[in-house]
Amino acid sequence: MSKRVLTTESGAPVADNQNSATAGAGGPILLQDQHLLEKLARFNRERIPERVVHARGSGAYGYFEVTDDVTGFTRADFLSEVGRRTETFIRFSTVADSLGGADAVRDPRGFALKFYTDEGNYDLVGNNTPVFFIKDPIKFPDFIHSQKRDPFTGRQEPDNVWDFWAHSPEATHQITWLMGDRGIPASYRHMNGYGSHTYQWTNAAGEAFFVKYHFKTNQGVRSLSADQGAELAGKDAASHQTDLLQAIERGVNPSWTLHVQVMPAAEAADYRFNPFDVTKVWPHCDYPLQRVGRLVLDRNPDNVFAEVEQAAFSPNNFVPGIGPSPDKMLQGRLFAYADAHRYRLGINHTQLPVNAPKAAVVDNYGRDGLHATRYGSRQDKNYEPNSYSGPAETGAALAAPFAVHGWTGTHEAPAHTKDDDFFQAGELYRLMSADEKDRLVANIAGGLSQVTRDDVIEKNLAHFHAADADYGTRVEEAVRALRED
């Protein structure tokens, strides 16, 4: 077997990769050493800006297999028949910390899934919680600023975290999730995934439905206490990455069962609370889970940078039969995610192997830009319409339209009969066992007691009291006890 030859970026063989060219045996390095200059220059540039959120992540390839007939709800081709398999790539992540942070921390987890379908890539970008902290994207930059490192102290500040939450009562439901037992998953394999937002499905007859996605882990939900998480983070900062990598390498392929909740579009307007509010769940008694299929992960990436760090997901990557809803947070993400990737990876990030369609052909008039690899033939035109047999529009919308009316301007979301920022947080608290409530109260009090301003503490306590009287009283007593110590 012949030995592989080391080359420069231009393909020329490298004679010596151990010693730089110098002027004599002990002389200074020569500017003409192209291999040295190329290596150093490339090294200086081999990092790209990290994600503003979801910076630390892990990924794997796999497949999605349809197990149940859902053609009555959607005409999406990859969901069209039982037994149909579609290749997938998933990226798990923490949200608030930087690329160098630890995995076993109290934080929501990203659950971003790319389906390489025959009709193009479909990206489902969710979390391991069914709800989120805020309901309007205009608050998102402020929310993230409050959770990230303070520009003066360089650390996450409890004052900032809880001050923002004090002024955002809609966050109470997600805070109850985050501070509860599922706030620190034992691994990526042992947590559920959710689309979180409301999406639209449209069937072949043009009927529209609103749906929520639930990926239930087949490994069982396992979580860590605050002490267990701190211990694991100290032993192996990359604990979740290690677990996922080693499990797949052993052939222990993790899997999830996908269920959806389905709401006929006509029922949305009169539902008792706003079904497009991402701070709320749809009770299963109203819209039961309906099984769709299973997700299996069976292959690790060959290169973490190329395939995990450069993976780009955008919730505006839909396929026929699936589309958006009036969910305001989703509407903001339709722009923000794709734009973040244009900044981080360049305008042609969709041509990178991990992001490029695998089962569909890309044929459009996009040309040029940094790292362009797709040009077309010399006869192809770069405009449309044209008289040269270029690709043309289909005239068929991916999803059904929904009616809009009213005056332009900034508006609060329309109120439904049971809209409330606290009721579902209270419902979640009341579902917990006594031990779960103990841990929830301790986790909240541990952070809230560090806040230096009494008025911020009082505003947050009022939210927990509004959710449930016992909930608020126990948090208030725990915070007082910690502050008196």
Catalytic residue among 54, 197, 259, 463: 54
Biggest CA pair distance of the chain: 85
Measured CA to CA in angstroms, residue 123 lies from 114, 251, 275, 344, 464 at distances of 5, 26, 22, 18, 35
pLDDT of residue 374: 77
Please tell me the distance from the alpha carbon of residue 26 to that of residue 460, in angstroms, as a whole number. Answer: 68
Helix ranges restricted to H, 87-194 = 140-147, 158-166, 172-179
Query: What mean pLDDT is reported for the chain?
Result: 94
Instruction: State yes or no: pLDDT of 1 exceeds 80.
Output: no
Query: Taking each helix axis from N to C terminus, what angle separates 328-345 and 140-147, rounded to the nearest 10 degrees?
Result: 70
> Does an H or E element contain 213, and which?
strand 208-217
State the DSSP H helix or E strand holding residue 247, giving kind and residue range, or none if neither: helix 239-249
Find all residues with CB under 8 Å of 468, minimum gap 6, and list them: 425, 426, 429, 430
pLDDT in tens, 311-350: 999 999 999 999 999 999 999 999 999 999 999 999 999 9
Predicted local confidence at residue 393, as pLDDT: 85
Burial of 83 (0-12, 13-18, 19+ CB in 10 A): exposed
Q: Which of 97-106, 115-124, 322-331, 382-391 has the lowest mean pLDDT?
A: 382-391
Cα of 344 vs its chain's centroid, Å:
16
Chain segment 402-449, per-residue pLDDT in tens: 888 888 788 888 889 888 999 999 999 999 999 999 999 999 999 999
Beta bridge partners of 225: none
CB atoms within 10 A of CB 389: 9
- Is residue 258 within a helix (H) or strand (E), and if so which, with residue range? strand 255-264
**73 and 206 in contact (C-beta within 8 Å)?**
no
DSSP state of 255: E
Q: Between β-strands 199-202 and 322-323, what pairing exists: parallel, antiparallel or unpaired? A: antiparallel
SS3 86: strand
Taking only the tens place, the pLDDT of each residue in 233-244 is 999 999 999 999
Name the active-site residue from 121, 127, 128, 348: 127
In angstroms, the CA 278 to CA 173 distance is 10
CA distance between the termini of the chain: 71
User: For the chain, what's the residue count?
Assistant: 485
Q: Which residue has the tokens 């929310």?
A: 143
Query: pLDDT tens, 78-101?
Result: 999 999 999 999 999 999 989 889
**Helix/strand/coil (H/E/C) assignment for every residue in 4-67:** CCCECCCCCECCCCCCCCECCCCCCECCCCHHHHHHHHHHHCCCCCCCCCCCCEEEEEEEEEEC
Active site residue 128: no
Side chain identity, residue 334: L
CA 422/CA 465 separation, integer angstroms = 9
416 catalytically annotated: no
**Residue of 61, 155, 153, 142 whose CA lies nearest to 101:** 155
Nearest to residue 141, comparing CAs of 347, 340, 419? Answer: 340
